[in-house]
Structure 1
């Protein structure tokens, strides 16, 4: 079995329930978005599941914990990774999951809390 075609268990965090198991051809990281049956989910956490076989632990499947979300319309590229919102703002969290402390739902455009970052 190839590593990039491992079964991936999708677990909804609230209310806690398993949405099923699918085969993915990419490795979901926290902050990525995933579309399943017409709904969009944000990946919050990834866990590996191992089985002991012939005296060795082998990666058996991956479990990702998700929550329902909308794909952000505003993104900024910082040091090779995409973050939500306008990263030039002082309050931006520079996170793939949270936009900022003062205006988490956004949008950044025309936000009255905007302050340009120093440096």
Structure 2
């Protein structure tokens, strides 16, 4: 990741409107389908567009514009290492993926799963 990609200004629009919800700075590039939380409200990213500026003889990414819709907070999603993953991140079987929950119970849910095992380093922290 180059220093240009860190803390890019991101304009957030609700749905297809042109009225911005606000401007935030992200250290990651949200993809459609990702979750985003702003002021305690959860949103799903619908679309991402890039704006470029010509500086010093080349085009550089200057800001990102994302269209979002409100979403319910999903207890089955966890923000981990810069991305949203499905399922309980403390379980040793969790795939740490946005697409696949785990190897032993891919359909979920994690709540009440008889195969759930907490990773030893997480147990030690509790």
- Does TM, scored on the shorter chain, surpass 0.5? yes
Which residue matches 2:26?
A: 24
Q: Is the 8 A contact 1:72 1:84 kept in 2?
A: no
1:68-114 CA-partner distances (Å, limit 9, x unpaired):
111334557xx9743499965xxxxxxxxxxxxxxxxxxxxxxxxxx
Question: Are 1:68 and 2:33 counterparts?
Answer: no
How many Å separate the matches in 2 of 1:42 and 1:15?
A: 15
Structure 1: 5+ residue stretches without partners: 89-119
CA RMSD of aligned residues (A): 3.2
Cα deviation, residue 60, structure 1: 0.4
Structure showing greater relative contact order (alpha-carbon pairs closer than 8 Å, 6 or more residues apart): 1
TM-score scaled by length of structure 1: 0.58
1:38-91 CA-partner distances (Å, limit 9, x unpaired):
211111111111011233111101111100111334557xx9743499965xxx
C-alpha spacing 1:38/1:29, structure 2 compared with 1 (3 Å): same
Number of equivalences: 91
Which residue matches 2:7?
A: 5
Cα deviation, residue 16, structure 1: 4.7
C-alpha spacing 1:2/1:41, structure 2 compared with 1 (3 Å): same
